[in-house]
Amino acid sequence: MYDIAVIGGGINGCGIARDAAGRGYSVCLAEMSDLASGTSSWSTKLIHGGLRYLEHYEFRLVRESLEEREVLWAMAPHIVRPLRFVLPHHAGLRPAWLLRLGLFLYDHLGGRKLLPPTRVLNLKTDAAGAPLKDDFRKGFEYSDCWVDDARLVVLNARDAADRGADIHTRTQVVKAVREDGHWRVTLRDLRTGTERDIEARLLVNAAGPWVDKVLGNAFGQNGARNVRLVQGSHIVVPKLYDHDRSYIFQNSDGRIFFTIPYERDFTLIGTTDRDYEGDPAKVAITPEESAYLCAATGEYFKKPVAVEDIVWTYSGVRPLFDDGASKAQEATRDYVLREDGKPEDGVLVNIFGGKLTTYRRLANSVLQKIEGALGAKGPEWSGSKPLPGGDFPVLDFAGQLDALKRRYPFLDDGTALRLERQYGTFALEILGNAKTFADLGRDFGAGLSEAEVRYLMRREWAVSAEDVLWRRSKLGLRLTVEQVEALGDFMSDLMASAA
């Protein structure tokens, strides 16, 4: 009998599992696919207050999000990093005074201690103006943070497991019924097809865009429509400029979009907002979205971006709480928790909406409901302990990287940076006493070694080449088809021999 069973291994499910396990509850989490294979790996990857939400008067959400930036940065200074955003003033769109007012609020609403404040930019003299068209003369530069979204999920799951939670991937919750004051939950192992039951005193439905589907299929509550599914797509192109800042651009349709330096050699451009019907697992960018993002970018940069330049795209579905807004881009990004049932029967907590940025605060609110139903255990703690590999001072990333390079001089600069960013202090667990790259076993290409793959399988629930190449890392951008195949074969053989 678990205290809590969590449905869904996205950021919300894993954040709740970590918080609950750390307070002393017994926790089981089931994820039907890979961790972070849903919306949580398809985001723009910003830990941000959300400048745009100020226009919708979402002050509570913006304040909470602004505060979370430095909390998450301190918890995970390897996978989270500060990022400066350049906002050019566009003569035909929002006036300069409005941008200045928004950024003043953004700087002062709360939580900013280390991140530098907003400054005004002369785009004629600053390097940020160089790639832009000549009409852009003035801009603003402000701070937010960037995060490796999929790794944020996996590190929460790892920490939850290290604190006692049972994490099951490729495991679908197919049925949940109340029985003698608790839940009987049927789990299906999607690799073998076998089913088994577990019992839990409380259930959390953190199935993201599938939340209503789970309510229908597993709980028999058909016809629920609590979330509005809104597709957002991104394109990746070879890098558009040399400096390390991002741009936030306004578009004439009132939307904003970002261009963000990505994986050293690329620029990430996104996103879009369009209502989506259908299976969230099958969402894919449409030709119109690709064309829209290229055209919008071309409005600002001297060098146009063509659809042929795109090297990768991804698409995800936001599970937004359905607040009845008429336009997809206006639907609230805030989260709503809904409790169903009494403690003596077995409580179900459903999660609608939310952002990566606020996952820890959402988890904390869910824990308050859990305490109400099951009784309190430990105190609030999740913001004060680092995520795995993040146990170094927040401003010392460069020092950590230098130390790694000194200890393992055979690593090329790109691989050293990638390993430090992905694993922080845990990079040492992968590299051990290696003196040469060959000591790490097989070389799968682009700096991916057998030692790293074995670590990901042993410690991070990776079972397929896709898990390794697109969620634990983004090496999928660099490996050839043959290299991907060789990695897949290696992993299958290892799994078969372990079984």
**Count of residues engaged in binding ligand FAD, rule: CB under 6 A:** 38
Among 69, 318, 418, 454, binds ligand FAD (CB under 6 A): 318
β-strands 246-250, 80-88 pairing? parallel
143 binds ligand FAD (CB under 6 A): no
Contact criterion met (CB below 8 Å) for 226 and 372: no
Q: Which residue is nearest to ligand FAD (CB)?
A: 10
Q: For residues 317 and 404, which CB has a smaller minimum distance to ligand FAD in the complex?
A: 317
267 binds ligand FAD (CB under 6 A): no
232 binds ligand FAD (CB under 6 A): yes
State whether the Cα torsion 434-437-438-442 is positive or negative: positive
Among 99, 150, 173, 373, binds ligand FAD (CB under 6 A): 173
Fill in the DSSP letter of residue 469.
I
Contact criterion met (CB below 8 Å) for 325 and 332: yes
Q: For residues 73 and 408, which CB has a smaller minimum distance to ligand FAD in the complex?
A: 73
What CA–CA distances, in Å, run from 480 to 197, 312, 466? 42, 14, 13
45 binds ligand FAD (CB under 6 A): yes
Among 53, 140, 142, 210, binds ligand FAD (CB under 6 A): 210
Please, what is the minimum distance in Å from the beta carbon of residue 282 to ligand FAD? 13
Contact criterion met (CB below 8 Å) for 1 and 201: yes
Residue ranges in 321-380 that form contacts with ligand FAD under rule CB under 6 A? 354-357
Q: Which of 162, 154, 173 is CA-nearest to residue 5? A: 173
Q: Which of 42, 53, 51 is CA-nearest to residue 332? A: 53
Stretch that binds ligand FAD, among 3-11, 131-139, 154-162, 300-308 (CB under 6 A): 3-11
Q: How far apart are CA 481 and CA 449, in angstroms?
A: 17
Please, what is the minimum distance in Å from the beta carbon of residue 363 to ligand FAD? 10
Please, what is the minimum distance in Å from the beta carbon of residue 230 to ligand FAD? 7
Among 6, 13, 203, 292, binds ligand FAD (CB under 6 A): 13
388 binds ligand FAD (CB under 6 A): no
What CA–CA distances, in Å, run from 456 to 77, 79, 189, 277, 389? 20, 16, 20, 34, 14
Please, what is the minimum distance in Å from the beta carbon of residue 125 to ligand FAD? 30
Q: For residues 258 and 300, which CB has a smaller minimum distance to ligand FAD in the complex?
A: 258
Quickly count: other Cβ atoms within 10 Å of residue 395's Cβ: 12
Please, what is the minimum distance in Å from the beta carbon of residue 91 to ligand FAD? 28
Among 214, 237, 269, 348, binds ligand FAD (CB under 6 A): 214
Q: Which of 152, 140, 121 is CA-nearest to residue 51? A: 140
Please, what is the minimum distance in Å from the beta carbon of residue 267 to ligand FAD? 16
Please, what is the minimum distance in Å from the beta carbon of residue 406 to ligand FAD? 34
49 binds ligand FAD (CB under 6 A): no
Percentages helix, strand, coil for the chain, rounded to the nearest 5?
40, 25, 35
Please, what is the minimum distance in Å from the beta carbon of residue 172 to ligand FAD? 4
261 binds ligand FAD (CB under 6 A): no
Stretch that binds ligand FAD, among 10-18, 56-64, 128-136, 304-312 (CB under 6 A): 10-18
316 binds ligand FAD (CB under 6 A): yes
- DSSP letter string, 207-231: -GGGHHHHHHHTT--TT---EEEEE
177, containing H or E segment:
strand 171-179
Please, what is the minimum distance in Å from the beta carbon of residue 177 to ligand FAD? 14
206 binds ligand FAD (CB under 6 A): yes
124: helix, strand or coil: coil
Please, what is the minimum distance in Å from the beta carbon of residue 391 to ligand FAD? 24
38 binds ligand FAD (CB under 6 A): yes
Quickly count: other Cβ atoms within 10 Å of residue 402's Cβ: 13
Max Cα separation, the chain?
71
32 binds ligand FAD (CB under 6 A): yes
The tally of CA atoms less than 13 A away on the side-chain side of residue 315 is: 20
The tally of CA atoms less than 13 A away on the side-chain side of residue 36 is: 29
Please, what is the minimum distance in Å from the beta carbon of residue 301 to ligand FAD? 21
Q: Which residue reads 């599914």 in tokens?
A: 229
256 binds ligand FAD (CB under 6 A): no
Among 21, 46, 123, 155, binds ligand FAD (CB under 6 A): 46
Please, what is the minimum distance in Å from the beta carbon of residue 7 to ligand FAD? 5
What CA–CA distances, in Å, run from 289 to 292, 321, 356, 358? 5, 23, 23, 27
Burial degree of 100 (CB within 10 A; 0-12, 13-18, 19+): middle
Q: How many residues belong to the chain?
A: 499
172 binds ligand FAD (CB under 6 A): yes
Q: Which residues bind ligand FAD (CB under 6 A)?
A: 7-13, 30-33, 37-40, 42-46, 172-173, 206-210, 214, 232, 271, 316-319, 354-357
